Amino acid sequence: MTLTFLLRVGAIVLALLGNSLGAPRSFSVDYKNDCFRKDGEEFRYISGSIHYNRIPRVYWKDRLLKMYMAGLNTIQTYIPWNFHEPSPNQYNFNGDRDVQHFLQLAQDIGLLVILRPGPYICAEWDMGGLPAWLLKKRSIVLRSSDPDYIAAVDKWMGKLLPMMKPLLYQNGGPIISVQVENEYGSYFACDYNYMSHLSKLFQGHLGDEAVLFTTDGAGLSYLKCGSIQGLYATVDFGPGSNISAAFNAQRHAEPHGPLVNSEFYAGWLDHWGSRHATVSTAIVAKALNEILALGANVNLYMFIGGTNLVPMAQAGDLTEKYFAIREVIKRYRKIPEGPIPPSTPKYAYGVVKMAKVQTVLSALEKLSFSGPVKSIYPLSFIEINQVFGFVLYSTKLPVNCSTPTPLSSPLNGVHDRAYVSVDGVPMGILERSKVLTINITGSSGSRVDLLVENMGRLNYGGGINDFKGLVSNLTLGEDVLSGWTMYSLNIDEAVSQGLIQKTQAPGSSHPASSPAGLSLPTFYSGSFRIPDGIPDLPQDTYVQFPGWRKGQVWINGFNLGRYWPVRGPQVTLFVPANVLSTAAPNNVTLLELEGSPCTTGPCVVEFTETPILNTTVSTGPCPRLFLRGG
Ligand SMILES: *[C@@H]1O[C@H](CO)[C@@H](O)[C@H](O)[C@H]1NC(C)=O
Ligand SMILES: *[C@@H]1O[C@H](CO)[C@@H](O)[C@H](O)[C@H]1NC(C)=O
Ligand SMILES: *[C@@H]1O[C@H](CO)[C@@H](O)[C@H](O)[C@H]1NC(C)=O
Ligand SMILES: *[C@@H]1O[C@H](CO)[C@@H](O)[C@H](O)[C@H]1NC(C)=O
Ligand SMILES: *[C@@H]1O[C@H](CO)[C@@H](O)[C@H](O)[C@H]1NC(C)=O
Ligand SMILES: *[C@@H]1O[C@H](CO)[C@@H](O)[C@H](O)[C@H]1NC(C)=O
């Protein structure tokens, strides 16, 4: 094959130069011996997935070291485009986004890297890593030869890949191989021109020596559109699969070369309202053993996930699965000696009193930096330049609704959840695919407000053009509502600037009683000090929300995430020590969207030592979407 030939030529040139520079570095696919070849030696990787974008930078080294000590010789990571180019031509590679530093740390620790730069990555990440601003062209066909999509991809890869080139193995760095696209064979477009364009683009930036590959589900139907000549085809499958059948599928696309499972599912993701997913340690260990016994290369997906427990927990804790996997790996390669860094200590800071601050409606001016936008019919988030979070949609009742009148989204266009009030009285919640109609009452001219929440864009499948906000018209009875005023809210900014403060605004001090048992979306705050006299504080902790229903939590202005204990299964959020301060009181801000416990019971959040991830309270009325792993 051309690739191997070129690699050999490259290796000879390097060998000639190599005498004074030390051993030449090369990495290639050996089609003759069905293996990878590194520096001329047969090589097999045992890898684990870790996403730097899900871990605070201060913990990168700890997690990588634990992966190394588990016996892995390689890690695999994606690069989410939308994490680094949040708006067109605005690049961010600093702090938690410093991917070059992350890769350098991996190399310093002794790990090789399999890089998966997309452009589409799936990854259980917003829009599969694609930036939402691509949707400014309404009709764009993502992951295809659509010229607007290609132009954006070319520009992004023109920025990213030259940064990665010096980090390729043959250039002295840790990156042994680079994946092009991701599970493209599962996507409806099946556009060979697109894959062929990407293949040339990657080769152009990284050089002919770079080992480029694709990953697809282990079935011929996936490999049909996902694999393309010139890119080494690999497969992904979990411990429940028939391993020989899965590798037979890869052999169909690649009759020769190393066997590779690019995503071996050591755990699984959770959805709100579904049972907590678990994958038994015994089954993972057994299947891993079988894969390694075949001489195959494998990447455990994930090794450390986000919230979900895989071999390593979110807080970097060593689990039973971690040690079981280490025991399996030990049978196949010499694993490093020396102590494994311990799980980080946790501290229970205890109960923190919360107090009501103000409602979203009373804080509108402070939350909407750009001021309102008016339109006859509703505009989507992206049309008013909002990417994440919340937009407030407001209009007036055109008629008297003295009896309950249906407010509907007949085309299922509330993306994803709308907290509805009339003249400051909560009326109910519309929810995408679940609740398309509620009844409201009010008189002609009353103000109707819908606080619309983006709950994350679909990351997989034909629906990734996932517009947010009110993406189709609402009806009141038979009439289409019109005359909208929309407030784009930058709550992160307002919280971190300390703008959310108690006001004397009318209506904000006494909760209006609601027919639905709901309260208006409202901010609460509280603070706590790190105790004196205890060594090594602050330490990591978990925050829990007794009696709260659904909302968002910030600590010292850092947006920690979403809580939804009434739906589950996740009840606690991980609080890494680096967001806490010993110098000043730590400020906790909640935006509670449905109703607080504060009128009926203790108005507190609690910091505890242990996570709770497996309490499914409500499954909701809708069948869950099936998402593929990677
Ligand atoms: C697994 O797949 C192989 C090859 O396709 C087949 O021969 C075998 O019967 C399968 N095993 C099971 C348990 O289904
Ligand atoms: C709406 O109802 C109020 C009384 O509740 C009445 O005064 C008003 O005329 C009605 N308006 C319309 C448009 O029917
Ligand atoms: C709305 O109110 C009508 C009349 O009271 C009732 O029949 C209907 O079930 C209600 N719809 C919803 C969605 O609550
Ligand atoms: C709302 O309805 C109007 C009139 O039928 C239509 O022109 C407009 O495109 C619709 N807007 C949305 C967001 O569906
Ligand atoms: C918490 O808020 C108070 C009052 O605004 C401020 O003085 C303090 O510095 C904040 N704490 C931290 C850790 O930022
Ligand atoms: C949840 O997880 C804990 C800790 O692993 C376990 O003790 C408990 O039995 C689990 N509960 C459910 C409902 O699965």
Asked whether 443 lines ligand 2 (CB < 6 A), one says yes
Beta bridge partners of 608: 542
CA distances from 108 to 14, 175, 387 (A): 23, 13, 36
In this structure, the dihedral spanned by the alpha carbons of residues 163, 111, 262 and 187, taken in order and rounded to 10 degrees, is -20
Ligand having the closest approach to the CA of 317? 6
pLDDT of residue 87 exceeding 80, the answer is: yes
Asked whether 503 lines ligand 4 (CB < 6 A), one says no
What are the strands of the beta sheet with 558-563, ordered from one edge? 355-359, 522-528, 586-592, 551-555, 558-563
Between the CA of 528 and the centroid of ligand 5 the distance, in Å, is: 10
Residue of the CA atom closest to atom 9 of ligand 4? 377
- 264 touches 288 (CB < 8 A): yes
Q: pLDDT, tens digit, for every residue of 34-85? A: 999 999 999 999 999 999 999 999 999 999 999 999 999 999 999 999 999 9
Residue of the CA atom closest to atom 10 of ligand 2? 400
pLDDT of residue 412 exceeding 90, the answer is: yes
Packing angle, helices 147-164 and 192-206, rounded to 10: 30
Beta bridge partners of 541: 575
Burial of 342 (0-12, 13-18, 19+ CB in 10 A): exposed
Ligand having the closest approach to the CA of 401? 2
Between the CA of 287 and the centroid of ligand 1 the distance, in Å, is: 14
Asked whether 220 lines ligand 1 (CB < 6 A), one says no
Between the CA of 122 and the centroid of ligand 1 the distance, in Å, is: 29
Q: What is the pLDDT of residue 616?
A: 75
Q: pLDDT, tens digit, for every residue of 224-241? A: 999 999 999 999 999 999
**What is the rounded distance in angstroms from the CA atom of residue 383 to the CA atom of residue 378?**
10
CA angle 214, 81, 146 (to 5 degrees): 70
Confidence of residue 309 (pLDDT cuts 50, 70, 90): confident
Ligand having the closest approach to the CA of 237? 1
Residue of the CA atom closest to atom 5 of ligand 2? 443
Can you tell me whether residue 243 is helix, strand or coil? helix
Confidence of residue 24 (pLDDT cuts 50, 70, 90): confident
DSSP for 118-155, please give it. -S---TTSGGGG--GGGGGSTT--TTS--HHHHHHHHH
pLDDT of residue 619 exceeding 60, the answer is: no
**What is the rounded distance in angstroms from the CA atom of residue 51 to the CA atom of residue 41?**
29
Between 504 and 470, whose confidence is greater?
470
Asked whether 376 lines ligand 4 (CB < 6 A), one says no
pLDDT of residue 360 exceeding 70, the answer is: yes
What sign does the CA torsion over 588, 591, 594, 598 have? positive
pLDDT of residue 20 exceeding 60, the answer is: no
Between the CA of 549 and the centroid of ligand 3 the distance, in Å, is: 24
Asked whether 445 lines ligand 2 (CB < 6 A), one says no
- For tokens 């997309």, what's the residue? 118
pLDDT of residue 162 exceeding 50, the answer is: yes
Q: What is the pLDDT of residue 513?
A: 63
Between the CA of 241 and the centroid of ligand 1 the distance, in Å, is: 10
For 128, residues 6+ apart whose C-beta sits below 8 A from its C-beta are: 120, 121, 122, 182, 459, 460, 464
pTM: 0.93
- Mean pLDDT along residues 552-575: 97
Query: Catalytic site residue 290?
Result: no
pLDDT of residue 512 exceeding 70, the answer is: no
Between the CA of 543 and the centroid of ligand 6 the distance, in Å, is: 18
- 603 touches 596 (CB < 8 A): yes
φ, ψ of residue 213 in degrees (nearest 5): -145, 170
Beta bridge partners of 419: 429, 451
Confidence of residue 502 (pLDDT cuts 50, 70, 90): confident
- 419 touches 593 (CB < 8 A): yes
Asked whether 378 lines ligand 4 (CB < 6 A), one says yes
Residue of the CA atom closest to atom 6 of ligand 1? 245
Residue of the CA atom closest to atom 1 of ligand 3? 439
Ligand having the closest approach to the CA of 611? 6
Which of 254, 263, 431, 592 is an active site residue?
A: 263
Q: pLDDT, tens digit, for every residue of 525-536? A: 999 999 999 999
Ligand having the closest approach to the CA of 400? 2
Between the CA of 583 and the centroid of ligand 5 the distance, in Å, is: 9
Element (H, E) at 319: none
Asked whether 33 lines ligand 2 (CB < 6 A), one says no
Residue of the CA atom closest to atom 12 of ligand 1? 242
Which of 85, 181, 183, 592 is an active site residue?
A: 183
pLDDT of residue 353 exceeding 90, the answer is: yes
- Mean pLDDT along residues 153-179: 98
Query: Catalytic site residue 263?
Result: yes
Which atom of ligand 1 lies at the shortest distance from residue 242's CA? 1
Which atom of ligand 5 lies at the shortest distance from residue 581's CA? 13
Between β-strands 175-179 and 112-116, what pairing exists: parallel, antiparallel or unpaired? parallel
Residues in the chain: 630
- Mean pLDDT along residues 587-614: 97
Asked whether 480 lines ligand 4 (CB < 6 A), one says yes
Q: What is the pLDDT of residue 517?
A: 87
Q: What is the pLDDT of residue 310?
A: 85
Residue of the CA atom closest to atom 7 of ligand 1? 245
**What is the rounded distance in angstroms from the CA atom of residue 84 to the CA atom of residue 548?**
34
Packing angle, helices 320-330 and 281-293, rounded to 10: 20
Can you tell me whether residue 436 is helix, strand or coil? coil
Confidence of residue 171 (pLDDT cuts 50, 70, 90): very high
Q: Which pairs from 497-500 meet CB under 8 Å and 24+ separation?
A: 497/557, 498/557, 499/363, 499/366, 499/367, 500/357, 500/358, 500/363, 500/366, 500/525, 500/589
Residue of the CA atom closest to atom 6 of ligand 3? 404
Whether omega before 426 lies within 30 degrees of 0, making that bond cis, reads no
For 323, residues 6+ apart whose C-beta sits below 8 A from its C-beta are: none
Asked whether 514 lines ligand 5 (CB < 6 A), one says no
Can you tell me whether residue 52 is helix, strand or coil? helix
Q: pLDDT, tens digit, for every residue of 90-102? A: 999 999 999 999 9
**What is the rounded distance in angstroms from the CA atom of residue 417 to the CA atom of residue 419?**
7
Packing angle, helices 281-293 and 243-253, rounded to 10: 40
Which atom of ligand 3 lies at the shortest distance from residue 439's CA? 1
Q: Rounded mean pLDDT of the chain?
A: 93
